[in-house]
Amino acid sequence: MNRNFNINNLVRENIKALRPYSSARDEFKGAADVFLDANENPFGTLNRYPDPQQKEIKEKLAVIKNVDTNQIFVGNGSDEVIDLAFRIFCEPGKDKVLTFSPTYGMYDVSANINNIEVIKQPLINDFQISLNQLQPYLDVEELKIIFICSPNNPTGNCINSEDIEYVLENFNGIVIVDEAYIDFSSKASFIKNINKYNNLIVSQTFSKAWGLAGVRVGAAYANKEVIQLYNRVKPPYNVSTLNQEAVLNSLVNLDDVNKNIDIILSERTKLEEALSKLSIVKKIYPTDANFLLVEVDNADKTYQYLIDKKVIVRNRHTHVENCIRITIGTNKENKKLIEALKKI
């Protein structure tokens, strides 16, 4: 437990004073037969605003994740989780955040939109955090958020849990652990620590293992005070009815979700074995995600060659030299990739 942490010392003054938008759907409790509160069209099938608090989703997630409903925020993708953190905790033009590079590019984009400086701390051996290099930044007064992507994108590895806990215990700011790919890993989620560390926010998404990238729904897990801040700042109806229904359908079909994860993990092993036999492949980095970071002879050339073959991968050469990132596809898609690479 970080005993020196006080969330009120981090929250922007205008957010503390903010009176959030409140609809009648937020205010009344129980069931109703007639809705004449929101100036909706009374005709149609999608004529009503969605549940602003996503209560059904939170009730089901609370059981699955073993948390309370007031420890869950449901957002318009995990990108909303990231963006709202800047709005709540960072004063534009003054405060800073820290990331460990290479990592997910949206942290930089969201920081730039919110006029927040980003300190980039390079990952070291095996793409892990150097606590010695990080130490001087932990006491920087303007540093308000540290982002830790685990499993990390684009490297695929989990960050050592002991190092994450060290950061949580020694940093008097918010630590966001981005677990977009955690369902593909054998490592435990940091959600289990939200009652232990009141400066911890765990971000997850329905875009990866849940197969709902087109739905754009993410979630944050934290202590109830942090979640209250998120609910204060979010737009009133931030997740559509259709998107909520898609998530609920997956939450009641966990067996199907888990079967698909097992297939992806099996295909990951097969693809890794096939890639290791190709002469252009120099290294395949260990992964806890649904992708492989692969070093090849010439990433730019390989990337363009695959485009010409109508196979799209991600060129990560500017992040990790001569590396491409390959998402695990279906058996048919993976075979098409390998056949193309054999002819390069």
Residues 190 and 281 in one domain: no
246 and 314 belong to one structural domain: no
What DSSP letter does each residue of 56-89 carry, written as one string? HHHHHHHHHHT--GGGEEEESSHHHHHHHHHHHH
CB contact burial 200-239 (16+ within 10 A = b; e otherwise): bbbbbbbbbbbbbeebbbbbbbbbeebbebbbbbbeebbb
Q: Which of 192, 226, 252 is a domain's end point?
A: 252
pLDDT band at residue 33 using 50, 70 and 90 as cut-offs: confident
In this predicted model, what pLDDT tens digit does every residue of 176-192 receive, in sequence order? 999 999 999 999 999 99
Q: Evaluate whether residue 161 is within a structural domain.
A: yes
Which residue range is the domain that position 328 belongs to?
255-342
pLDDT in tens, 245-257: 999 999 999 999 9
Domain count, the chain: 2
Question: Same domain, yes or no, for 191 and 279?
Answer: no
Q: Per the domain annotation, does 1 fall within a domain?
A: no
Percentage of the chain modeled with pLDDT above 90: 92
What span, in angstroms and rounded, lies between the C-alpha atoms of 187 and 61?
Answer: 19
- Provide the whole-model pTM: 0.95
Mean pLDDT (whole number) for 84-95? 98
Considering the domain architecture, whether residues 326 and 247 belong to the same structural domain is answered as no
Q: Is a pLDDT exceeding 90 seen at residue 26?
A: no
Q: What is the pLDDT of residue 3?
A: 60
Beta carbons of 194 and 225 less than 8 angstroms apart: no
Chain segment 106-163, per-residue pLDDT in tens: 999 999 999 999 999 999 999 999 999 999 999 999 999 999 999 999 999 999 999 9
- Residue 289, helix vs strand vs coil: coil
At a CB cut-off of 8 Å and minimum separation 6, what does 21 contact? 235, 236
Token pair of 204 as six digits: 């997850």
56 C-beta neighbours (distance < 10 Å), count: 14
